[in-house]
Structure 1
Amino acid sequence: MKPIIAITGATGFAGRHAVAELLGRGRQLRALVRNPDTANLPQAVETVTGDLADTDALARLLAGADAVIHLAGALTSLDRQGYFRVNRQGTEALAAAAERAGTRRFVHISSLAAREPQLSAYGASKRAGEDVVRGRAQALNAIIIRPPAVYGPGDRGTLPLIKELTRPIAAIPGRRAARFSLIHGRDLARLIAQALDGAEQGLHEVSDGKAGGYGWDELLRAASQFRNAPVRPVFLPRAIPQAVATVAEGLARLTAKPGMINRGKIAELYHVDWVAHEGTLSLADPIPFETGFAETVAWYRAAGWLPQPHGTDRRATSSRTSQ
């Protein structure tokens, strides 16, 4: 019988890429999901109904599991407590359950935002989750992975940025001087699979391997080449997205539906250094941004998330890449 790999967050963007990668390697997966009927996971994936606050569900998830991949997390919340409830307390519950179950490996997917916890409640909660795993690192044989912005087919988080980069004039909520790392969703999935069977422990920041990360000029150049026409940037003064975020937070509280736009996210966007500090966990042949950008735009257009092109950038609009 194949070893069971338990996974949380399997229905998210990065999770679906991880599931596809691991199934492709012949791994047996068991996923924690809130609703198996709407999870839309491959039939080969066993599901356990529940969430990170459900002790019984965590016990079922980890029963006989050889290892656990923790991808689940709160990307949005109405308040600071909501982020911590999932990203810290949920991680603590899972780590404790994994230790009780005797799993041999714990792969914790954090975020580069955890490097600057003062900027946002999200980043602070992800750092708190890392601290939980560090406290049990030896018992769990744990590795913590901090990815930067993850993009690729199926991702809604980076859709607004990709959309701007397909326009003649791109409105950019950020500073011209900023530098940042990126990673394609499939490459993150490959790194997760690599970490699962590796011996590395501790904290590892990862990326697509681009030394020194990217600046806006490099992304704009890639977008211009893709369009066969210039993409000119307009860097928005911070006060504009800050005002939008304040209004968005008010609406979120009124509707009880949190969104991605909030003041913490704006603080992250205007931070100038999101370049990953490369460690020993890396890929020999990562997907370069130029290739990943073209593939992602093609997928968005095929899925109807972006309009079909007009004029000069009629490229790669019919192929749809599977998640």
Structure 2
Amino acid sequence: MTGGTGFVGQHLLKMALASGYDVRALTRGWKPPEEAIVWVNGALDRPESLEKLAAGADAVIHIAGLINGDRKAFEAVNAGGTAAMIDAARKGGVRRFIHISSLAAREPDLSAYGWSKARSEKLVAASGLEWTTIRPPAVYGPGDRETLELFRMARRGFVALPPRGRFSVIHVEDLCRLILAVIDEPDTIAETYEPDDGVQEGWDHSDFARTLCRVFDKRASTWHMPKFLLRGAAGLDRLFRRQHAKLTPDRVDYFCHPDWVVAAERRPPHALWRPEVRTSNGLKATADWYRSEGWLR
């Protein structure tokens, strides 16, 4: 597994271990030994570590990727890193390859991130391996820092939003259950899935904000920011938070796209998987976790 130290990866590790899997996971830093986990020190740009990671495995789950950077960095990590992991899988005799992409890959011309994810998908599809690609929409849950600021706004009862549109979401535990479900299922080979929380038409931005504000017993006040203001805010965020900026120029076009609802024909079949976490409940549990960890302020 790559990305095992990240938000989705940490949840997947726990679920995989609970399901009886032995896991070999990539890490950049030192990790203490853990039962049923072998930590491999390395990185996507260190082929020898990827070969050690993949050698003799039954399946590779490739989660690691870059979500904040410039086009060159996105290409190096998201496309180049995927190519390196494919090569390591081949050398290690691994046939099964689970690729965690992004719904952003559906619109590669909107952002450098989406473009890099689309490139990674093409590499996987041409790999000759027994691949499955999963394109998550917005993922939330305990431990996620990407949606944290949205929760902080909702706690105050005021949520700034992009121009009007609709989008899909998924709780991290539902996503992880799908990842594990496809590993040994031959009918999922050469398929690309777009999972979500089961809300058929996705969420209107304002409706989602109101649902989130109710978690904090707040009446929602929302403002749909025009694109030019979002661009200005992205510049300021980059100026003050540098590489830690959450609203980047690359993300503005992505956020302003009116349709980030998963495609009905790409939803996983119900016989394989269906979401279990109702979004209102998942948002509350996530907010409770943020509170317990002191992340909400």
- Aligned pairs for 1:22-37 within 5 A: 22-37=16-31
Are positions 1:262 and 2:262 aligned together? no
What is the one-letter code of the residue matched to 1:237?
A: P
Deviation at 1:161, TM superposition (A): 1.4
Deviation at 1:31, TM superposition (A): 0.4
Are positions 1:281 and 2:268 aligned together? yes
Assess if the C-alpha contact under 8 Å between 1:134 and 1:202 holds in 2.
no
Residue of structure 2 in register with 1:89 after alignment: 80
Determine helix, strand or coil for the equivalent of 2:268. Answer: coil
Distance 2:211 2:6 in 1: 27
Residue of structure 2 in register with 1:272 after alignment: 258
Are positions 1:102 and 2:93 aligned together? yes
**CA shift in 2, pair 1:285/1:205, >3 Å:** closer
- Report the TM-score, using the length of structure 2 for normalisation: 0.92
Assess if the C-alpha contact under 8 Å between 2:159 and 2:223 holds in 1.
yes
Assess if the C-alpha contact under 8 Å between 1:105 and 1:196 holds in 2.
yes
Distance 1:303 1:287 in 2: 21
What is the one-letter code of the residue matched to 1:81?
A: K
- Gaps in structure 2 of 5+ consecutive residues: none
- Gaps in structure 1 of 5+ consecutive residues: 1-6, 308-323
- Aligned pairs for 1:1-323 within 5 A: 7-37=1-31, 42-77=34-69, 79-136=70-127, 139-172=128-161, 174-176=162-164, 178-199=165-186, 200=188, 201-249=190-238, 257=243, 259-278=245-264, 279=266, 281=268, 283-307=273-297
Structure 1 runs (4+) greater than 6 angstroms displaced:
none
Distance 1:107 1:237 in 2: 38
- Report the TM-score, using the length of structure 1 for normalisation: 0.85
1:57-97 Cα deviation digits (max 9, x unpaired): 111111111100000001112x2111100100110011111
Assess if the C-alpha contact under 8 Å between 2:55 and 2:93 holds in 1.
no
Determine helix, strand or coil for the equivalent of 1:36. Answer: coil
Aligned length: 291
Assess if the C-alpha contact under 8 Å between 2:194 and 2:267 holds in 1.
no
What is the one-letter code of the residue matched to 1:198?
A: E
What is the one-letter code of the residue matched to 1:104?
A: R
1:17-37 Cα deviation digits (max 9, x unpaired): 111111110000000111123
